[in-house]
Amino acid sequence: MLRSLIISFCLVAAGGALQGAIWPAQLGSFTRGELKQASITNGDVWEEYGLLETEQTEYRTEGRHFGATAYRFRDPTGALAAFQWQRPSDAKPSKVGELAVETTRSLLLAFHNYLLRIDGWKPGAEELAPLLQSLPRVDQSSLPTLPGYLPSTNLVPNSERYVVGPASLAMFYKEIPPSLAAFHLGAEAQFGRFRSQHGEISMGVFSYPTPAIARQQTEAFSQRLAGALVKRSGPLVAVVLPPADPDEAEKLLAKVQYQATITWNERVPTKRDNIGNLILNILLLCGLLILVCLAGGLIVGGMRLLRKRLFKDWEPEEAMIRLRLDGR
């Protein structure tokens, strides 16, 4: 409770000078009301996710109004984790974004390092576009790839939870001690619940910096977490929490397969690197210069001829000097 109050106070102090920086004064036909900081609970989890700023307001127009709350995080990972945590259990996927869900009267959207919640109105993608383009201090770094390793078969909708530290682990899966997860080694985890014939199964996929660390943590999970089934795949460690049906757990673990991806940064050739294009451009430049010279000569010669016809007594300022050598 004390930490939540401290986080709220810091957000108020840091965001006081930034009011109006997130929600625009006008959103479609709606006009923004008074700005204030959003109240939060479980401040240690928000802090762990990297929350930097919150802003809450209410928009009104003739006979209509809706509430709007924005959370700005240090990076997209924090926004993803908060999105999974804050979305309602009965929410359905929304078409306005990749990380967006909606209920009958609300919309929750994760956009880069922002989490946006709108209550009382469900705008479309075109209506949201001006808002998303005007958001300040957007972090466009990539989302973590770890959620993609969680199997989708029989996954309970909206049951995923992204864990980045001891606070979020204690909130969602307190069965696992933080020292066992070893967050000091750079671990992150994606959890989810799965349906089976004998009840739900809870599984977490931990990601470690190297396969060697993952191998070490696999042994630790097997020794210290009684009844759990553990599997390692590359730098990933999949853990099925007890109690669980062993056969269903094995099927679930078999679907966790690490696939290494290599990004090769290579210079993309351009037309300037093609010798044929270079020669062609040289010829075009030479032709252009010839045309300019011809045009200049015709203009000068034409002006002299026209001047001579209009002014018959006109003599050039510089007479032509002729050397007669035949009389020598």
pLDDT of residue 14: 46
**Residue 70 confidence (pLDDT) above 90:** yes
Instruction: Name the DSSP class of 63.
Output: T
At 86-107, the pLDDT tens digits run: 999 999 999 999 999 999 999 9
Retrieve residue 47's tokens.
Answer: 């802090």
CA-CA distance, 202 to 45, in Å (whole number)?
Answer: 21
Q: Higher model confidence: residue 218 or residue 314?
A: 218
**Residue 8 confidence (pLDDT) above 70:** no
**Residue 6 confidence (pLDDT) above 60:** no
Q: Is the dihedral of CA 61, 64, 65, 66 positive or negative?
A: negative
pLDDT of residue 18: 43
Q: What structural domains does the chain harbor?
A: 2-134 (3.40.1000), 146-254 (no CATH)
pLDDT of residue 301: 82
Q: What pTM, to 2 d.p., does this model score?
A: 0.74
At 289-309, the pLDDT tens digits run: 999 999 988 888 888 777 777
Band of residue 268 on the pLDDT scale cut at 50, 70, 90:
low
